[in-house]
A and B are shown apart, each in its own frame.
Chain A
Amino acid sequence: MHVPSRRLRNSAVVALTAVMALGLAAGCSKKNDAPAGDGQLKLVVDTFGEFGYKALAKEYESAHPNIKVQLRSIEKLDDYKPKLTQYLAAGSGAGDVVALEEGILTEFKTQPQNFVDLNQFGGGDLAKDYLPWKFEQGKASNGQLIGLPTDVGGLGVCYRRDLFEKAKLPTDRAEVSKLWTTWDDFIATGQRFNAGGSGAAFLDSTTTAFNAMLAQFGDTNFYDRNNNLIADSNPSVRKAWDYTMSMIDKGISAKVTTWSNEWQAGFKNASFAVTFCPSWMRGIIKTNAGDASTGKWDIADVPGGGGNWGGSFLAVPKQSRHAKEAYELAKFLTSAHGQIGAFNESGPLPSNLGALDDATFKATTDPYFNNAPVGVIYGAGAKALKPVYRGPKHQAVLDRAFQPAIQSVEQGKAKADEAWKNALDAAKKEAK
Chain B
Amino acid sequence: MSLRTAPAAPPPQAPVGEPPAPGRPARYRLARWDLKYSPYLYIAPFFLLFGAFGAYPLVYTAWVSLHDWNLIGSSSFVGLDNYRALMVDADFWNAVVNTMGIFVIATVPQMVLALALANLLNRGMRARTLFRMGVLVPNVTSVAAVGIVFGQLFGRDFGLVNYLLGLFGVDRVDWQANTWSSWIAIATMVDWRWTGYNALIFLAAMQAIPRDLYESAAIDGASRGRQFWSITIPMLRPTIIFAVIISTIGGLQLFTEPLLFGNGRILGGSLRQFQTVAMYMYENAFQRFNYGYGSAVAWTLFMLIALMCAVNYLLVRRSAR
Within 8 A of B (CB), among A394-432: 396, 400, 404-405, 407-408, 410-414, 422, 429-430
Q: How far is the CB of A272 from chain B (nearest CB, A)?
A: 10
Q: In the complex, what residues of B have CB within 8 A of residue A181's CB?
A: none
Instruction: Indicate if the CB atoms of A16 and B158 lie closer than 8 Å.
Output: no
Within 8 A of A (CB), among B61-111: 61, 64, 69-76, 91
Q: In the complex, what residues of A have CB within 8 A of residue B282's CB?
A: 20, 22, 82
Q: In the complex, what residues of A have CB within 8 A of residue B184's CB?
A: none
What residue in chain B is nearest A79 (Cβ atoms)?
B264
Chain B 295-307 interface mask (CB, 8 Å, partner A; 1/0):
1001100100000
**Which bracket fits the contact residues of A?**
35 or more
**Which bracket fits the contact residues of B?**
35 or more
What residue in chain A is nearest B265 (Cβ atoms)?
A78
Known contacts: A23-B143, A114-B72, A260-B263. The answer to whether A16 contacts B298 by CB under 8 A is: yes
Known contacts: A12-B291, A265-B155. The answer to whether A404 contacts B278 by CB under 8 A is: no
The answer to the question of A88 belonging to the interface, with a C-beta cut-off of 8 Å to chain B, is yes
Known contacts: A16-B291, A88-B72. The answer to whether A408 contacts B61 by CB under 8 A is: no
CA distance A19 to B74 in the complex (A): 22
Tally of A-B Cβ pairs under 8 angstroms: 140
Known contacts: A16-B57, A22-B255, A82-B286. The answer to whether A405 contacts B74 by CB under 8 A is: no
Instruction: Indicate if the CB atoms of A22 and B155 lie closer than 8 Å.
Output: no
Q: In the complex, what residues of A have CB within 8 A of residue B270's CB?
A: 404-405, 407-408, 410-411, 413-414
Chain B 261-298 interface mask (CB, 8 Å, partner A; 1/0):
00111110111110000100111011111010011001
Known contacts: A3-B74, A82-B286. The answer to whether A23 contacts B253 by CB under 8 A is: no
The answer to the question of B237 belonging to the interface, with a C-beta cut-off of 8 Å to chain A, is no
The answer to the question of B144 belonging to the interface, with a C-beta cut-off of 8 Å to chain A, is yes
Instruction: Indicate if the CB atoms of A20 and B281 lie closer than 8 Å.
Output: yes
Instruction: Indicate if the CB atoms of A269 and B158 lie closer than 8 Å.
Output: yes
Within 8 A of B (CB), among A222-272: 256-257, 259-262, 265-266, 269, 271
**Which residue from A20, A262, A269 sits with its C-beta under 8 Å from B156?**
A262
Within 8 A of B (CB), among A1-59: 1-4, 11-12, 14-24, 26
Known contacts: A2-B75, A22-B256. The answer to whether A14 contacts B158 by CB under 8 A is: no
Q: In the complex, what residues of A have CB within 8 A of residue B278's CB?
A: 20, 22
The answer to the question of B152 belonging to the interface, with a C-beta cut-off of 8 Å to chain A, is yes
CA distance A139 to B285 in the complex (A): 26
The answer to the question of B53 belonging to the interface, with a C-beta cut-off of 8 Å to chain A, is yes
Within 8 A of A (CB), among B133-159: 143-144, 151-152, 155-158
What residue in chain A is nearest B154 (Cβ atoms)?
A261
13 pairs from A and B in contact (CB 8 Å cutoff): A1-B75, A3-B75, A12-B64, A16-B285, A16-B294, A19-B58, A20-B278, A23-B143, A78-B265, A82-B287, A107-B289, A257-B263, A260-B263
Interface, chain A (partner B; CB < 8 A): 1-4, 11-12, 14-24, 26, 76, 78-79, 81-82, 85-86, 88-89, 107-108, 110-111, 113-114, 256-257, 259-262, 265-266, 269, 271, 396, 400, 404-405, 407-408, 410-414, 422, 429-430
